[in-house]
Amino acid sequence: MASFKYKDVYLNNFYSVAGIYENNGVLKNVNRYLKDFYDGEKTIEDSEVKMQKEVLNNLIKSNTELVVGGDLMNQITATSSSVVNNNISFLGLYNACATFCGSVITLSNFISGKHIKEGIAITSSHNLASEKQFRFPNEYGAHKPIYTTFTTTGSVGVVVSRFPSNIKVVSATLGSVVDMGIKDANNMGAVMAPAAVKTLMEHLKYTNTTVNDYDLILTGDLGKYGSELFKILLKEDYGIIIKNFLDGGSIIYKEEQEKYSGGSGPVCLPLILFNNILQNKKYKRILVIATGSLHSPMLVNQKHSIPSIAHLISLEVI
């Protein structure tokens, strides 16, 4: 696997928009919450594009050179449509829910190689749009099992730059694709947990550290059942008992909201990271593992199993 160390890469300001169910007190300083799923637009897809446009409009400055990002819709529609006509280079990425870390790593490599000075990593997801994309449209009214996750609505963008700020990107690992033969499109936690473990162990080996060297290990959207599986896999395969661990999906919704196993979607991790973890100023060294299930509805319908991936970035709060 490819791992990188960076010298002068920083995460500068960010901008976030979140949906109605995320407005529950867990997140702090979100720039705007939506009033409903449509947000004044005609379709749910338009509303996702509108969120991304708002994020980009607030982050783009004269020295922005590149936008890297993606979302969950086919042909990464929301991102491709939100970057039109702004004269900034664009690279679309699709790693499902791992898109955010993938984008930050791509930008970090360009910046530490001194190819560019500043770029924006952006991602978004919309509950209704991604249910339609991956499982059943909501109007079908399908019954859901308890271990399924609820796609988070929102959009987050962050400026990755050479210019110093208090959040430094120290190192990163691009994960490899893991397939454990799971075919259930509702069971994303079980699909992604093995990929997260693999990337974490690879990164620890590369940096010659242990899990106790970090204040927090944050995964994106494993959900309650997926987090348990993550801990069990670490314990049984590597003998590591992990205590400084949080999962974004498990904490983004409160218990009484009854969102099954927790939140998911590419925006779940950055919302928790920027609007909860970094706001608390409690942690100094953070390992962020974004997990994505590279799940194609077509192949699942043809009874194929679901591959998954995890990308990791190591942050240092100064």
Partner 1 sequence: MTIFYSFLFCGFICVLGQIILDNTKCTPGHVTSLFVVLGAFLSMLGLYDKIIEYVGVGANIPITSFGNTLFNGAYIGFKSGGFLGLFDNMLCSVSLGITSAVIFSFLFSLFTKVKD
Check residue 4 and give left, alpha or beta (phi > 0: left; psi -120 to 50: alpha): beta
Count CB-CB contacts under 10 A for residue 150: 24
Instruction: Name the minimum Å distance from CB 142 to partner 1.
Output: 5
Q: Which of 253, 18, 315, 50 shows the shortest CA–CA distance to 156?
A: 18
Residue 212 burial (10 A CB sphere; 0-12, 13-18, 19+): exposed
Q: Which of 254, 243, 286 shows the shortest CA–CA distance to 104?
A: 286
Residue type, 236: E
What is the Cα–Cα distance from 44 to 251, expressed in whole angstroms?
25
Instruction: Name the minimum Å distance from CB 43 to partner 1.
Output: 9
Instruction: Name the minimum Å distance from CB 152 to partner 1.
Output: 13
What is the Cα–Cα distance from 213 to 317, expressed in whole angstroms?
14
Tokens of 193: 């947990």
Residue with Cβ nearer partner 1 (4 or 37): 37
Instruction: Name the minimum Å distance from CB 90 to partner 1.
Output: 29
Residue with Cβ nearer partner 1 (136 or 283): 136
Residue with Cβ nearer partner 1 (90 or 136): 136
Instruction: Name the minimum Å distance from CB 182 to partner 1.
Output: 10
Instruction: Name the minimum Å distance from CB 72 to partner 1.
Output: 16
Alpha helices in 10-93 (DSSP H): 44-59, 77-82
Residue with Cβ nearer partner 1 (181 or 239): 181
Instruction: Name the minimum Å distance from CB 41 to partner 1.
Output: 11
First to last CA, the chain: 28
Q: Cβ contacts of residue 86 below 8 Å, gap of 6+?
A: 56, 60
What is the Cα–Cα distance from 280 to 37, expressed in whole angstroms?
29
What is the Cα–Cα distance from 40 to 51, expressed in whole angstroms?
11
Instruction: Name the minimum Å distance from CB 190 to partner 1.
Output: 12
Residue with Cβ nearer partner 1 (6 or 147): 147
Q: Which of 291, 317, 284 shows the shortest CA–CA distance to 213?
A: 284
Measure the CA angle with vertex 177, ends 171 and 180; round to 5°.
Answer: 130
Q: Given the rule CB under 8 A, which residues bind partner 1?
A: 37-38, 44, 127-128, 136-143, 145, 183-184
Residue with Cβ nearer partner 1 (140 or 281): 140
Residue with Cβ nearer partner 1 (44 or 172): 44
Residue with Cβ nearer partner 1 (140 or 210): 140
- What are phi and psi for residue 279, nearest 5 degrees? -70, -30
